[in-house]
């Protein structure tokens, strides 16, 4: 009896871990899709032809490949390029927690940033996806700067520099600056 209780406790801890990380829903959806595609409960083969031996590959239909995602990532909705947009955004005027969406390049790619420290230009990159679709991403801590004489003022038509930072606030650059641009549109929420 103790072994059964220990197994149930371990199963409960495992399920709680999946629930806390947000993976439980994804695990249930994948299991449901697999069972629906297989045509019945686990272990029950789908209909097989009577006139010949069936291999496992011929019994179970092929599932579409799962999108590759980061373990802690989340789906980010990417808005379309806005028709009316801001001309400039001064990062120093934004409060921590403000979401800044910047469309860059051709075709436009939406990149969403959450402001962490506006005076230093520190942000969390929430997504980098082609307009109209969004992969799952893990936020990166960056220093966002305009490639101009006024680094904390982002202008439509200008270029940006993203400098990867460490996890700690005010940390030194963790890599070389990445160019990003030209800026096609700006939105603050």
pLDDT (tens digit per residue) in 165-174: 877 666 677 7
CB 189 within 8 A of CB 82: no
Q: List, for residues 142-161, the tens digit of each pLDDT value.
A: 899 998 888 899 999 999 99
Q: Quickly count: other Cβ atoms within 10 Å of residue 37's Cβ.
A: 13
H-type alpha helices, the chain:
2-21, 23-38, 56-59
CB 186 within 8 A of CB 85: yes
| Residue 93 pLDDT grade (very low, low, confident, very high; cuts 50, 70, 90) | very high
| Residue 77 pLDDT grade (very low, low, confident, very high; cuts 50, 70, 90) | low
Average pLDDT of the residues of the chain: 74
Query: In this predicted structure, what is the pLDDT of residue 42?
Result: 47
Tell me the HSE value of 91 on the side-chain side, using a 13 A CA sphere. Answer: 24
101 forms bridges with which residues in the sheet?
Answer: 112, 187
CB 129 within 8 A of CB 104: no
Q: Of 46-60, 86-100, 115-129, where does mean pLDDT reach its minimum? A: 46-60
Token representation of residue 127: 């997504």
Top pLDDT among 51 and 105 is at 105
Q: What percentage of the chain exceeds 90 in pLDDT?
A: 22
Query: In this predicted structure, what is the pLDDT of residue 131?
Result: 43
SS3 112: strand
pTM above the 0.85 mark?
no
Q: List, for residues 12-36, the tens digit of each pLDDT value.
A: 887 777 777 767 677 777 777 777 7
Query: In this predicted structure, what is the pLDDT of residue 21?
Result: 72
Q: Quickly count: other Cβ atoms within 10 Å of residue 79's Cβ.
A: 15
Return d(Cα 82, Cα 86) in angstroms, integer. Answer: 10
* Domain spans of the chain, in order of start: 2-59, 88-188
Q: Tokens 């940006």 correspond to what residue?
A: 160
- Give Cβ neighbours of residue 159 (< 8 Å, ≥ 6 apart): 146, 147, 148, 179, 180, 181, 182, 183
Query: In this predicted structure, what is the pLDDT of residue 148?
Result: 86
Q: List, for residues 117-145, the tens digit of each pLDDT value.
A: 999 899 988 765 444 444 445 678 889 99
pLDDT at 182 over 80: yes
């Amino acid at each position: 009896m103790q072994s059964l209780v220990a197994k149930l406790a371990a199963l409960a801890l495992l399920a709680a871990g999946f629930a806390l990380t947000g993976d439980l829903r994804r695990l249930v959806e994948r299991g449901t899709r697999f069972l629906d595609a297989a045509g019945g409960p686990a272990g029950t083969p789908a209909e097989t032809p009577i006139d010949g031996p069936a291999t496992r590959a011929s019994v179970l239909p092929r599932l579409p490949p799962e999108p590759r995602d980061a373990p802690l990532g989340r789906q980010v909705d990417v808005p379309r390029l806005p028709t009316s947009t801001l001309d400039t955004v001064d990062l120093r005027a934004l409060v921590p927690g403000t979401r800044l969406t910047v469309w860059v390049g051709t075709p436009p790619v939406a990149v969403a940033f959450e402001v962490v420290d506006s005076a230093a230009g520190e942000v969390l990159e929430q997504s980098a996806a082609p307009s109209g679709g969004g992969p799952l991403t893990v936020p990166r801590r960056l220093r966002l700067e305009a490639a101009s004489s006024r680094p904390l003022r982002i202008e439509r038509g200008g270029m940006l520099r993203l400098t990867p930072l460490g996890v700690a606030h005010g940390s030194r650059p963790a890599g070389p600056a990445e160019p990003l641009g030209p800026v096609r549109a700006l939105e603050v929420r």
